[in-house]
Chains A and B, each alone.
Chain A
Amino acid sequence: MTPEKKEYKRDVIIEVTTDLTFPLILLFGLYIMIGTGGTGGGFQGGTILAAAYILYITVYGTEKAREKMPESTNALFKSLGLYLYNGAGWICILFSLAAAQWLNMPAFWPITDFVGVSGSRSFLVGYMVSVGIGLTVMASFVSQYFDLAWKEDEEMGGR
């Protein structure tokens, strides 16, 4: 007894709710991700961003969600996060600030001196480190969910 092939059925309530909450979840994830001066962090922010995309995939199906998050962008984000984090560390090592001290980078970065606030000096690198972690976490989770949710009769062309 094989299960019948079901057509994709639209549900207006779920779709409208998703459309309304999707940008808000993204915004909240971004707030958590770059809020390193407060309560946030890269891992948590990346997970919330991934949750937004996973909600979108479950509601609209993999085929339509691919347009929101193409696989090429996903692969790019996955490695870009690691490059951002490790790049900050490499720059610190090259300028001999300290071996493991990522956040000391603004000591030579003149952009932050234009701001003129002493507290803002390391925010740029704090953001860079956190955003790097968050991008990797988000793209990894989304790509795993895509792989698990994919069915053979959907998305035959690939993207």
Chain B
Amino acid sequence: MNIPKMNPLTWTSIVIALLLIALSIYAIEDLPAFGDENSAANKKIKLFSLDADGLVESLDAGVLPVEIKTRIEDLGFIEGPTCPGCQNENYPTLDEGNYEIKKIEKGAYEGGRIYTEEGWDVLIREGEIFYDEFQQYYFIDEMGEKLNVYRYNWPVRVVERTEEETFIINAVTSGLADYRGYDTMGEETVILTGAIGVILLIRRRGRL
């Protein structure tokens, strides 16, 4: 049996390539699955919790209780100014016929999201011209004697929870380098690739 002689450089590069492949497999394993409830795009913010007596039947019947509606509107999610002389807010309203309540079973897969807890989704029709569909806005779940109300919203979460999640006070930095880290990585790689292309195309020198 004749073992071919190998350059030490070849051995080293094979080992490095195998290490990189192992690292990549590890990274792919580490990525959140599509629809993972705790991934950055799908997380929800807890707004408040209140006593559950008598409200569960109303939710099951598809009617949002007045208590929850007033609490949500007190938080400022309304259409119009929140205080005299303020700028107008433009949140979709919870009027009758404008929303829909859907019971969610545990482990359901809906709207690109896997639900790990059972609860109720509050869908609101925003009144857009070209996309007049019900969209997920609030999530309510029952925990013991209490009802917890969550809100699905990407910008609110980035603004309010950025320090808690990324330990940085600047929301723009956490957006650039954390929530959209792969985007920034690609941008940087594009710049490097452009520089290498310019070097290969127009550099006319013998040495580097």
Show the binding face of A for B, using Cβ within 8 Å.
36-38, 41, 43, 71-72, 75, 78-79, 81-82, 85-86, 89-90, 93-94, 96, 98-104, 106-107, 118-119, 121-123, 126, 129-130, 132-133, 136-137, 139-141, 143-144, 147-148, 150, 152, 158-159
Query: Which single member of B40, B168, B189, B205 contacts A126 (CB below 8 Å)?
Result: B168
Interface centre among A81, A119, A122, A133 (most CB of B within 10 A): A122
Evaluate contact between B181 and A102: CB separation under 8 angstroms. yes
Please classify the interface of chain B as helix (H, G, I), strand (E, B), loop, or mixed, using the class held by over half of its residues.
helix
**Binding stretch for chain A, among B50-58, B93-101, B102-110, B192-200:** B192-200
Are A72 and B192 in contact, CB atoms less than 8 angstroms apart? Answer: no
Q: Does B166 contact A (CB under 8 A)?
A: yes
Find chain B residues with CB under 8 A from A122 CB: 166-168
List residues of chain B with CB within 8 A of the CB of A121. 167
> Within 8 Å of chain A (Cβ to Cβ): is B202?
yes
Q: Which B residues between 181 and 208 are near A, CB-CB below 8 angstroms? A: 181-182, 184-185, 187-189, 191-192, 194-195, 198-199, 202-208
B172 CB contacts on chain A under 8 angstroms:
41
How far is the CB of B119 from the nearest CB of chain A, in Å? 25
**Residues on B with beta carbons closer than 8 Å to the beta carbon of A38:** 170
Selected contact of A99 from candidates B27, B194, B203, CB within 8 Å: B27
Please, could you name 12 A-B residue pairs with CB atoms under 8 Å apart, sorted by A?
A37-B170, A85-B184, A85-B185, A90-B27, A96-B30, A100-B40, A104-B167, A126-B177, A136-B192, A141-B195, A143-B195, A158-B206
B32 within 8 A of A: yes
CB distance from B107 to the nearest CB of A (A): 23
A21 CB to closest chain B CB (Å) equals: 25
Chain B residue numbers with a CB within 8 Å of A132 are 188
**B14 CB within 8 Å of chain A:** no
Cα–Cα distance between A91 and B21 once the two chains are bound (Å): 16
- Nearest residue (CB) in B for A75 is B208
Q: If A38-B170, A102-B178 touch, does A139 touch B30 (CB 8 Å cutoff)?
A: no
Expressed in whole angstroms, the Cα–Cα distance for A77 and B64 within the complex equals 59
Complex CA gap A118/B167 in Å reads: 8
Taking CB atoms, residues of chain B closer than 8 Å to A144 are: 195, 198
Of B23, B168, B188, B198, which one neighbours A82 at CB under 8 angstroms?
B188
Residues in B with CB closer than 8 Å to A103 are: 166-168, 173-174, 177-178
Query: Do A89 and B185 touch across chains, with their CB atoms under 8 A apart?
Result: yes
CB-nearest residue of chain A to B201: A147
Chain A residues whose C-beta falls within 8 Å of the C-beta of B18 in the assembled complex? none
Instruction: Check A41–B173 contact: CB distance below 8 A.
Output: yes
B31 interfacial contact with A, CB 8 Å: yes
From A72, A79, A143, B199 is in contact (CB under 8 Å) with A143
